[in-house]
Amino acid sequence: MRAGPDQSVWVTGHGADQPSKGRATVTAITTIVLFELPPENLDEFIAFWHGIQDFVSKQPGMIDGVGHRAADAHGPFQFVNVV
């Protein structure tokens, strides 16, 4: 969202005060994405994940993201992305 010259845009969290009249509000959200892959595809997925990090981090509205890898390559959800 882009603000006009007489507006402010800021990120707020849950329970924040209401913005003043004439201001636009952008609320931050957290997205958790679970990935379940066959063990033979893990290295390919890691390479893909590292390859898109720079692109994704520069997208409008992107604040932060962290990828997590499971300790057990054969368990469910080998990768979890928290954005």
The string of pLDDT tens digits covering residues 30-82 is 889 998 888 888 889 889 988 888 888 888 888 888 888 888 877 888 888 88
Q: What is the pLDDT of residue 58?
A: 87
The pLDDT value recorded for residue 20 is 52
The model's confidence at residue 13, banded by pLDDT at 50, 70 and 90, is very low
Per-residue 3-state assignment (H helix, E strand, C coil) for the chain:
CCCCCCCCEEEECCCCCCCCCCCEEEECCCCEEEECCCHHHHHHHHHHHHHHHHHHHCCCCCCCCEEEECCCCCCCCCEEEEC
The ranges assigned to domains in the chain are 1-29, 31-82
